Structure 1
Amino acid sequence: MENSGTPARAGRREWIALGVLMLPLLLVSMDISILYFAIPYVSQDLEPSATQQLWILDMYGFVLAGLLITMGALGDRIGRRRLVLAGATVFGAASVAAAYAHSAEALIGVRALLGLGGAALMPSTLALIRNLFHDARQRGRAVTIWTGVMTTGISLGPVVSGLLLEHFWWGSVFLINLPAMVLLLVLVPFLVPESRTGPVGAGAGAGAGGGEAGGAGARAAREPFDLVSAALSLAALLTVIYGIKEWARHGFAPVPAAVVVLGLALGHLFVRRQQHLAHPMIDLELLGRRSFGGPVFANVLAMFATVGMAVFLTQYLQSVQGLSPFKAALWSLVPASGVIVAAPTAAMLAQRVDHAYVMGGAFLFSAAGFCWLTQIRADSALWFCLAAAALYVGGLVAAMTLANELAIGAAPPERAGSAAAVLESGQELGGALGMAVLGSVGAAVYSREMADALPADVTAALPAGEADAVRETLGGAAAAAARLPEETAAGVLTAARDAFTHGMGLASAGAAVVVVGAAVYSFALLRGTAEHGEDGADAGSEGGDLAPAQTGAVK
C-alpha cells in the first residue's frame, strides 16, 4: 500500500490540475475588489439609492464569508471536485446575469449568487491541494502558489476593472469570469480526482487498520447534512462581519455593537451544537490542536494588518499623491514585488528551518515595513510609500503562506474542505477587524487634527453639513475644496492631507504592534507544529483517512 511508505510525489498532471484550479481562485478573489472603479458607472445606469449602492459592493463579500464553513463541510461530504464544478456553474451563470442586470435590486441578488458560487469554489481549491499533493515539500510550493494567486487577485481586481471600463460598459467586469469558468468545467473532470469524507470504495478502509474508522467515514457521508448548523454558521458570520464593517464605516455606535454581540451569541450556539453532534461541521478537536488552531490564529492577525492598511494605501495614492484611479490601481501592484521575493524565499527557508521561526521572521519583516510607514508625510515621494508597502506586504503574505501550509498539512485529508473553510473564515474575520480597528484609529486622528487645523473663517464659510464632512474624511475635504476659492481650498487640502498621513502613521504603528505580537506568538507557540501536523495527518490516515492511493478512486 502507498500509504505505508513515503508519500507519492505529484507529477505533471497534478501540477496542471493546480493551474486549472487557480483560475477560479483568481477570479473569485478579483470579484471582491473589481467593482471599486465600476460603481460610478453602475450608479449612473441603475440609479441605486445610497443604501443599495453599499449592498451592491458588500453583498458578495458577506455571502462569501458566511457560506465558507457550510460549503467546506458540504464538499467533504459530496465531493470537492463535484462542488468545484457546481460552484463554477453558479459563478458563471451569475456573472452573465450580473452583467445584464437592469435594476439595483437584481444586481444585489445576483451578487449574492456570485458569493454562493465563490464560497463553493474557494475552500474546495485549497482542500483539493491537500489531496493532490501528499509530499510535504510539493504541497508547500502549491500552497505558496495558492496564497499568491489569492492576494494577487484582490490587488488585480481594480486594475482589470479600470482597463475594461476604458473600452467597454460596466457589465464587462463580470463577463471576464465566463471563459475561465467554461475552461474549468471542461478540464477539471479530466485532471482533478474526486475526494470526499470516508472511504470511496468497498475496501477503502481496509489495510493499516482503517476498517472501523473507514466505516465511520461512510456513515458520516450518509448522515443528513445538518441544516441547523449551516444556518447558525451563516447567521453568525454575517452578523459579526456586518457589525464590524458598519463600525468601520460609521464609527462605534450601539446598533453595530449589538449586531456583533448577536453574531457572537449565534457563534456560541453553533459551537455548542458542534460539541454534541456525532459528525460536526467543524472538527473542534482539530481546531484545538496547536498544529491547526495556531496557524489559523496567526492568519487572522496577518489579515488584520493586511486589510486594515490596504484602505489607507488606496486613499494615499489617490487623495494625497493625486493619482487617477487607474494609475493608483497600477501603482498599487508595485508592493506585489515584495511578495514575489518574500513568499518563495520563506518557502525555501521553511524546508531547512522550523516553520515557526520563518513565520516569526516574516512577521518581523512586515513590522519593519509598518514602522517605515509611520514616517510617511503628505509630501513624501511616491517610491517611499511603495517601498514600505512592498516590505510589509511581502512579509505578511510569506507568513500567511506558511500558516496556510501548516494548517492544511495538519488537517486529515477527509476533513480538508472544512479545515480550509475555517482557515478562510478566519481570514475574513481578521480582515473585517483590521478595517474596523485600524480604520477607526486613522479616522479618530484625522477628525481630531482637522478640528484643530481648520481656520475659523473657513469653517464659517462652509455649510454645516459640509464642514462636518471636511472634518470626517479626506474625501469629504477634497469635495469641499473643489467649491472653495483657490487659496482657501489649498489650505483645506494641505491640512486634510497632513491629518490623513498622521492618522495613517499611527494606524501603521498599531499594525506593527499586532504583527510583532504575531511574531512572538509564532516563536513561542508554533515551534514543531510542522512535524506534529504531518504526524497527525499520517496517523489520521491510518485511522481511516483517505490514503494517497484512495483520493482518486472516485472518478
Structure 2
Amino acid sequence: MLPVLLISVDNTVLSFAIPSLSRALAPTGTELLWIVDIYALVLAGLLVPMGALGDRIGRRKLLLVGSAGFGLVSAAAAFVPSAEALIGARALLGLFGAMLMPATLSLIRNIFTVPSQRRIAIAVWAAGFSGGAALGPIVGGVLLEHFWWGSVFLLSVPVLIPLLVLGPILLPESRDPNPGPVDLLSVLLVMAAMFPVVYGIKAISTSGAGAESLLPIAVGLAFGVLFVRRQLRRLHPMLDVRLFRNPTFSGSIGANLLSVFSLVGFIFFLSQHLQLVLEKSPQEAGLIMLPGLLLTIIAGLAVVRVVRHIRPGYVVAGGLLLNAVGYTIILAAGDGGVGGLMVAFMVLGLGVGAAETISNDLILSSVPPTKAGAASAISETAYEVGSVLGTAVLGSILTADYRNGVSVPEGLSPDDAAAASETLGGAVEAAQRLPGESAQQLLESARAAFDSGVDTTSLIGLVLMLVAAAGAVVILRRATAD
C-alpha cells in the first residue's frame, strides 16, 4: 500500500501546486499541460513492459528498484530551475513509477487467492489511491503555504523509507514460472503509439484540427496497429491482446479508463478554480476537496458488499452515472460557488470509488494468477491513459476556451501579456503588476474565460459518462462476482 499511497499523493499534490508553480516557473499553457501529462504518459507507455519485466525477474524486486529511483528523482525535482527541467524530472518519475504500479496489483492477486479476500484487498488498494489523494491536498496545502512549490515533491521520502526497509522482510517474491523474453521492439512501438496521439490532442488546443494535430494522431494509431499485430504473431507476447476478446475484461478496462478520465479532468480545473478564482489558499482548497476524496474511499469499501446482491456490471454503471451527476451539478450551479463545487465533487467521488474498485476486480478475476502482472499492467495502463486524456483532452479544451475568451489589457510587458493569455495562473500573476482598474479588468476577463471553459469541459464529461454507463450495462451485464 505504501507505493500506491506515494503515487496518489504525488499526483494530487502536483495539481494543487500548479498555481504556485505557474508563478515561479512561468510555463506556457502547453508546458503546463506537459508538466502534468508527461509523468502519466511515460508511465502508461511503460506499464505493460514493466509488468512483463516484473513477471520475469520478480515483482518484489522491481517494486523496490522503482521505489528507490522514484524517491531520488522526486528529491531532485523539488529543486529544478525551469519548466523544461521539471518536465524532464516528471518523465523520469514516470519511468520509475511504471515499476511500482503493476507490482502492487499483481502481488495482491497472488497473495489473496480467495475471491472475497481478493475483492476486499483490491478495495483497500483503491482506497490507498483515494487516501493518498485526500492526504495530498492537506499536507501539500500546509507545505505550499509555508514553503516553495518544490517542497511537495519531498513528500515521497518519509513514505519510501519504511517501504525500502520493510519490503524485503514482509513482501513475498512472485514471478511467472514461464515468462516470455523481453521484447524491446514492442516497448518502442507502445511509446511510438502513445506520444504522437497525446501530442496531437494537445496541438488541437493551440492550432485547431489541422495537419499539425491530426497527422501525429494518425501516426500514433498506425504504430498502435503495428504493436497489436506484433503481439498476435508472437508466441510470448509482451501484452496478450487476446484478453480483450473477453467482454468482461475489455468492458472493465473501458470503465476504468473513463472513470479516471472524469476524475482527473475534474480535479485539473477544480484545484485552479478554488485557488485562482475563489482565492482560497492551497490548504483551504484541500479541505474543500477532502469530503469528496473520503467518499471515494468509503464507496470503494462499501461496494464489496453490494456486489453480493447486485451484478457487478450494474454497480460499475451506477458509479459512472454518479460521475455524470457530478458534472451536471457543475453545469447547474453556474456561479461556481464553494457549496456547489463541494457537492459535485462528493458525488463524483462516490462514483469513482464504486466504478474503480469493481472494474479492477473484474479485470484481475478474468485472468489466471500467473498472468497477474500483465493484467495488472493493462489495468494500470487504462488508469494512466485515462489520467493523460483527462488533462490532455479536457485540459486542452479548457485552455483553448480560455485563450479565446480572455482579454489582455494594454500596459503589460510582452512576457506578462503572453503569460496572461496562456493560463489563468499567468493572468493572476500579471495582474499584480497592473494598476487597480486594469488589474481588475484582467482578472474578471480571465476568470470568466476560465469558467466558460469549465462549462464546456463539464458538458463533454457529462456526455462521456452517460455513454460509458450505457456501455457498462450492455457489456458487463453478464459478469458475476466469483
> TM (normalized to structure 1)?
0.76
Q: 1:337 aligns with which of 279, 294, 307?
A: 294
Cα 1:150–1:259 shift into 2, 3 Å: farther
Match of 1:510 in 2: 460
Displacement of 1:26 after TM fit?
Answer: 1.2
Cα 1:448–1:67 shift into 2, 3 Å: closer
Mapping of 1:20-59 within 5 angstroms? 22-35=1-14, 58-59=37-38
Cα RMSD between the aligned structures?
Answer: 3.4
Q: 1:521 aligns with which of 468, 471, 479?
A: 471
1:163-183: CA deviation from partner (whole Å, max 9, x where unpaired): 335556666544432343232
Please identify the structure whose Cα radius of gyration is greater.
1
Q: Is the 8 A contact 1:251 1:440 kept in 2?
A: no
> In the alignment, residue 259 of structure 2 is paired with which amino acid?
A
Aligned partners of 1:303, 1:391: CA distance in 2, in Å? Answer: 14
Q: Is the 8 A contact 1:137 1:351 kept in 2?
A: no
> In the alignment, residue 220 of structure 2 is paired with which amino acid?
G
Moved more, 427-436 or 156-165: 156-165
Cα 1:197–1:382 shift into 2, 3 Å: same
Cα 1:416–1:241 shift into 2, 3 Å: farther
Displacement of 1:295 after TM fit?
Answer: 0.2
Moved more, 344-353 or 26-35: 26-35
Mapping of 1:438-453 within 5 angstroms? 438-443=394-399, 445-446=401-402
Mapping of 1:424-463 within 5 angstroms? 424-443=380-399, 445-446=401-402
Cα 1:473–1:399 shift into 2, 3 Å: same
Match of 1:277 in 2: 234
Match of 1:258 in 2: 215
Moved more, 424-433 or 160-169: 160-169
Q: Is the 8 A contact 2:14 2:36 kept in 1?
A: yes
Aligned partners of 2:440, 2:262: CA distance in 1, in Å? Answer: 32
Aligned partners of 1:185, 1:409: CA distance in 2, in Å? Answer: 29
Match of 1:407 in 2: 363
Unaligned runs of 5+ in 1: 1-21, 199-217, 535-555
1:177-219: CA deviation from partner (whole Å, max 9, x where unpaired): 2343232233223322222213xxxxxxxxxxxxxxxxxxx3x
Per the alignment, in what secondary structure is the counterpart of residue 290 of structure 2?
coil
> In the alignment, residue 319 of structure 1 is paired with which amino acid?
L
- In the alignment, is residue 139 of structure 1 matched against residue 118 of structure 2? yes
Q: 2:143 aligns with which of 164, 184, 190?
A: 164
Match of 1:365 in 2: 322
Cα 1:183–1:90 shift into 2, 3 Å: same
Aligned partners of 2:100, 2:249: CA distance in 1, in Å? Answer: 22
- In the alignment, is residue 421 of structure 1 matched against residue 377 of structure 2? yes
Displacement of 1:491 after TM fit?
Answer: 4.5
- In the alignment, is residue 193 of structure 1 matched against residue 143 of structure 2? no
Aligned partners of 2:16, 2:126: CA distance in 1, in Å? Answer: 24
1:412-459: CA deviation from partner (whole Å, max 9, x where unpaired): 111111111111212222232233333344445555555xxx6xxx86
Mapping of 1:86-485 within 5 angstroms? 86-98=65-77, 110-154=89-133, 156-166=135-145, 172-198=151-177, 218=178, 221=179, 223-247=180-204, 252=209, 254-378=211-335, 380-443=336-399, 445-446=401-402, 473-479=423-429, 481-485=431-435
1:76-100: CA deviation from partner (whole Å, max 9, x where unpaired): 2222122212222322343455457
Q: Is the 8 A contact 1:248 1:435 kept in 2?
A: no
Aligned partners of 1:162, 1:115: CA distance in 2, in Å? Answer: 24
Cα 1:195–1:30 shift into 2, 3 Å: same
Q: Is the 8 A contact 1:70 1:230 kept in 2?
A: yes
Displacement of 1:107 after TM fit?
Answer: 6.2
Cα 1:311–1:514 shift into 2, 3 Å: same
Moved more, 102-111 or 398-407: 102-111
Aligned partners of 2:170, 2:72: CA distance in 1, in Å? Answer: 23
> In the alignment, residue 335 of structure 1 is paired with which amino acid?
G
Match of 1:542 in 2: none
Q: Is the 8 A contact 1:409 1:530 kept in 2?
A: no
Unaligned runs of 5+ in 2: none
Displacement of 1:390 after TM fit?
Answer: 1.0
Aligned partners of 1:493, 1:526: CA distance in 2, in Å? Answer: 47
Q: Is the 8 A contact 1:335 1:386 kept in 2?
A: yes
> In the alignment, residue 252 of structure 2 is paired with which amino acid?
P
> In the alignment, residue 504 of structure 1 is paired with which amino acid?
V
Aligned partners of 1:527, 1:491: CA distance in 2, in Å? Answer: 53
Per the alignment, in what secondary structure is the counterpart of residue 291 of structure 2?
coil
Displacement of 1:120 after TM fit?
Answer: 0.6
> In the alignment, residue 39 of structure 2 is paired with which amino acid?
Y
> In the alignment, residue 268 of structure 2 is paired with which amino acid?
V
1:208-244: CA deviation from partner (whole Å, max 9, x where unpaired): xxxxxxxxxx3xx2x5321211222233233333443
Q: 1:497 aligns with which of 429, 434, 447?
A: 447
Larger fraction in helix = 2
> In the alignment, residue 265 of structure 1 is paired with which amino acid?
A
> TM (normalized to structure 2)?
0.87
Q: Is the 8 A contact 1:65 1:238 kept in 2?
A: no
Aligned partners of 2:396, 2:21: CA distance in 1, in Å? Answer: 29
Aligned partners of 1:465, 1:110: CA distance in 2, in Å? Answer: 25
1:356-380: CA deviation from partner (whole Å, max 9, x where unpaired): 11111122222222111102333x5
Q: Is the 8 A contact 2:33 2:392 kept in 1?
A: no
Q: Is the 8 A contact 2:323 2:465 kept in 1?
A: yes
Aligned partners of 1:105, 1:490: CA distance in 2, in Å? Answer: 31
Displacement of 1:486 after TM fit?
Answer: 3.2
Displacement of 1:347 after TM fit?
Answer: 2.5
